[in-house]
Structure 1
Amino acid sequence: MFVTLAVLGISIILFVTGRVRADIVALSALLILILTGILTPAEALTSFSDPLVVMTVGLFVVSGAILRTGLAKMVGRTILKLAGENEERLFFLIIAVTTLIGAFVSNTGTVALMMPIVVSMTMQSDINARRLLMPLAFAGSIGGMFTLIGTAPNLVIQGVLTQNGYTDIKFFSFAPVGTVVFISGILGFWALSKIFLSQKVNMKAKNLSKPLKELAKEYRIRTFTAAITEASGVCDRTLKELRIPEKYSINITGVIRKSAHSRRFILKGEEKSEIAGPQTILHAEDVISVIGSEENVQRFIEDHSLTLIHGAREEPSSMGIAEAVLLPNSGLVDVKVKDSGFRKKYNVNILAINHRRQYRSDNLAHEVMRAGDTLLVQGRWKDLARLHQDYENIVLVGQPLEEAAKVTLNHKAPLAAMIMLLMIASMAMNILPPVVAIISAALMMIITGCIRNMEEAYQLINWESVVLLAAMLPMATALEKTGTVSLVTGGLVDAFSGMGVYGLLAGVYLCTSMLTLFISNTATAVLFAPIAFKVAQSVGASPYPFLMAVTVAASMCFASPFSTPSNVMVMTPGRYSFVDYVRVGGPMQILMGVIMIIVLPLIFPF
C-alpha cells in the first residue's frame, strides 16, 4: 500500500507542476507498479483495450469531423448573429450555444471554435470581451454534462457501473443533471461576471487591422522602420545569410518595396508589402520593419548604414496582427520557434510570446513554445485565416469579424451530421453497444470522406489524453488490490457518516472537487469513481448519486485557470489574472457543489 500511495502522490505532484507531460508521468507510474509487482503486465496493459479508451479514440475522430466540415461553426455563427450588439443577449446566447455544441464535441474543440467569433464580435461592437470569455470556457465544461459522450468522466463512471452489473446508464441519462448545471451556471456566471469582469482592461481595438499599438506595450516590444541605402551592407543578401536575430537579437518582420515607377514609399498604391522570411532578399531603397530593443536596433542600423524613419508608417489594410493561443494537444508544444516551420507553413511572423504573463521577444528563435502560450503573430489577413483553420494546433483571436465568422462548409457536412445523429440514436435506443456505435461512426466518417484519410484521423486524436486515461485506469486497480480504496472509503465513512448519507455524498463531492483543481478531470474520475462506488456500497445506498457527484465535481472545475485546457485558452485573450478565476470560478464551484448535493438524490434516489 505504501508504494502505491507513494507512486500516486509523486504522480499528482508532477501533474500539478506540469514540468513533465501528463502521459509520461502516467506511463512511468504504471511501469513502477509493474516493476514492484503490484500489478502484473496483463493487469497493467489490459486497459489499453478497455472500451472506455477505445470510445475516447473514436470520439476524437467523430467530433473532429464535425468541426472540420464546418458544421459546428455554422451553427454557432448563425445563432450568435441573433445577439446583434446587445451584451446581455450575447452573453446568454454564448453560454447556450457553447453548451449545445459541448454536449457532442470536446470542450477544448468547442471553445477553440467559439472563441475567435466571440472576440471578433466584441471588438466590432465594443462589447467587453472580459465578461464573456471566461463564461465561454466554463460553458464548454457544462455542455459535457448533458450526454454520455460529453466528457470523459461520464464514460468513466459508466464503465464502473457496467463492471459492477449496472447497465441502465443511457446516452441521455445525464441530461437532467446537465439541465440543473446549465441553469445554475448561466445565472451564477451572469451575476458574478457582472460584478467582477465588467471592468475594461485595454480590450478596445476597433481597427482590427492595426492593433499593434494596443498590443506592443503589453508584449513589451518596440517596432522601428528603417530604409536601406545604396551603401548598406545588407543589399542583395537574404535574411538567412545575414543572421540578424543571432547577431543582434532583433527580427525583421516585413519589407516594403518601392514600385517600379516611383521612388517614394508613402503614397498609397505605390508600394508592395511582404512578410519577411529566411529567403527574403533585401534591396536598396527597401523599407524594413524591425522588432527589438532600441539599443539593438540602433546598433544594427549603424553597422549596416541604414536610415531610421521616425514616426509611424501606415500599414497596408491587407496586413494584420493578432494573437494565437497554442492548444495543449498541439504538435507545436515543446518545439523551438526556429524549428516550428511557422513562417514556411503559414507565411506569418511570430513577434512575441506570452507565457503565463511572462513576455518574450528577444532571441525568439530559441524560445520553446508551451501549451497555453499566446503568440503575437503578424501577416496578411488571408494568411492569418489559414492559420485559423489549423484548429488542432492554434486558436487565432483578434481577426476582423468577417474573417472570424467565415465558414468553409464542406459538402460532406450534411453527411457528417447524419452519421453523428445515427450514432446518438443507436446509443440512445440501445441498438448498439456504445463502443460499437462510436467506432462505427468514426469509421463511417473516414469511409465517406468527412475525414480525408486515416492519417488525418490519427492527427485528430489527442494521444496524450488517450495514453493518460489508459495508463491511469490500472492505478485504480492497484489502489483496489492494495486495500487503498477500502482505506479511503473507510476514512470518508468515518468522517462524514455522522451527517448521514447526504454527508457522505458531500464528502465524495468535496474530495473530487478539490483533487480536480490540481490534476485532469479524467484522472480524478478514474481515481474517485471506485471509491464513490465503495462508499455507496458500505452504507447500502444506490451508487448512482455518488458516481454522478464524481463526474460533476470532476468536470465543474472553475476556480483555477490551469485546471482545464479551456480555462487556459481564454486566460490571455481575456486578460485574466489568477485572481479573476478565484473570484468568479470559486463561488460558482462552491455553489454548484451545494446545489448538486441537494439535487442529485432527487434525480437519482439513494
Structure 2
Amino acid sequence: MSICGSYSDCSLWSSSCSGSVGRGSTLSLLAIVAFPLAGVLTFPEALAGFADPSVILIAALFVVGEGLSRTGVTYRVGDWLVKHSKSNPRRLLVLLMLTVAALGAVMSSTGVVAIFIPVVLSLAARMGISPRMLMMPLSMAALTSGMLTLIATAPNLIVDAELQRQGAGGFDFFSVTPFGLVILLLGIGYMLVVQRFLGGDETEGLGSGRDSFNDLLTRYEIESRTSRFRIGARSPLIGSAVAGIQFEDAPTFVLGVERKRFWQGTALLTEPDTVLKRGDTLILDLAPEGSKLVQLGLKYVGDSDRVFDDHARQLGMVEVVIPPDSRMVGQSVSELRFRSDHGVTVLGVRQAGRVVKGDPAYQRLRAGAVLLLACDWDAIRRLGEVTGDFLSMAPPRESDESAPAASRAPFALFSLALMVPLLLPFQP
C-alpha cells in the first residue's frame, strides 16, 4: 500500500466520521500513530507529511510541560527560585537564566522553554510583574545554552563530526564551554540593564484585579479559627472516613487531612471518603473544647492560620452568591448539606454587606447572601457547573497555581527524566 493511498483512505474515513465521532483532524493524528503501530507504515513514512519531524517533537514537549504544570512540579521550581532570590526581581532574573542555561546544556532548548513557560508565568503572577520581564531572559538563556556543551545543539555535533572526518580530532564535551559561559554572563548583564524597559507599567493577565486568600480571610473576619490536631495511636477515629466524623454539638468541620508521604512530603487530603490513619493531622475549623478532643484521641499541634497558604495548590476558597430564585433562600447552611452534597465547608456568610456573626451553620440565607466556601480546587470547578442554586464568583489569585494532579508528580518527573536522553539525537 502506498503512502498516498493510506492517507487518502484515512482522509475519506475522517471526513465521513468527523460529524459523529470527532473532529477530522483528531482522527488524522490518531491515524499517524496507528499506522506505524500496525506495521502499515514506518515512523519516517508516517511523519513524511510534515515539513520537519520536529513539529511532532515540539508538540510532545508542550504536553510534557503541561503535565509538569498540572502536577505542581513547575510551581515547586518557582518556589525554589523565589526562595533563593528573596523575591528580588534582579536576583530572580539571574537565577532563572542560570537554571535554564544549565538544563539547556544537556537537553533541547525548545524543551527547556516549553517546561519553563508555566514557571515564568507563575513567578510573574506571584511577584506582580509583567511576564515580559522574564520571558525575554528565558529565551536568551535557552539560546545561549547551545554554546555550553557539545550535545547542547545539533550544529555542534555536525561540526564535530566533520572535523573528525577531516582528521582534525573533533571537540571534547566541554570544548565550547568557556566561550558559552562568557556569552551567558554577557547576556545576563545585558538583561539586567534592559529589564526595567521590558515590563513597562502593565501587569496584564496576572489576576491583579482578583482577591487573594488573605483578602477573603480579612473580609470575613476569620482569624485564628483553624487548628491542627494529630491522631493518636488509640484514637477511635482511626479507620473512620472524614465524612463520618461527628463533633456532637460543636460547629466543627474538617478542612483536610495532612499525611506524610515518602515521595510527596506532606500531602493534603480533602476527599470526604478519606480513611484516617495513625499519625494523620486533622485541620479543623472552629475546633471544640479540649475535653472532647482528648476523648477522640486528638493532640493539639498548633494553629493553622497559614493552612490556605501552605496548601494553596490543593485547598482553595471561593465566594458564591445566592440568587433570588434559589431554593436555598430561607434555609440554614446546615440544612443545605454543603459538605455532603458538594464536598465544601462554609467558612463565613455576608448578608446586606455585613459579616454574619456566630456559627455560619445556623444562619438563614437571604437572596443576595454571599458565602465563603473552602474545598479542594476540583470541587470549586464542579461548583461552577451548578446552576440555579448559587452563582460562583471569580476564584482568588491562588487558583492560577492549583495542581489538580499533584499525586501524579512522580510520573511527570519520570517522563521528564526519560525525555532528556531521548531528545539528545533530535537537538533543534
Q: Same fold (TM over 0.5)?
A: no
User: In proportion to residue count, which structure has more helix?
Assistant: 1
Q: Which structure has the higher relative contact order (CA within 8 Å, separation 6+)?
A: 1
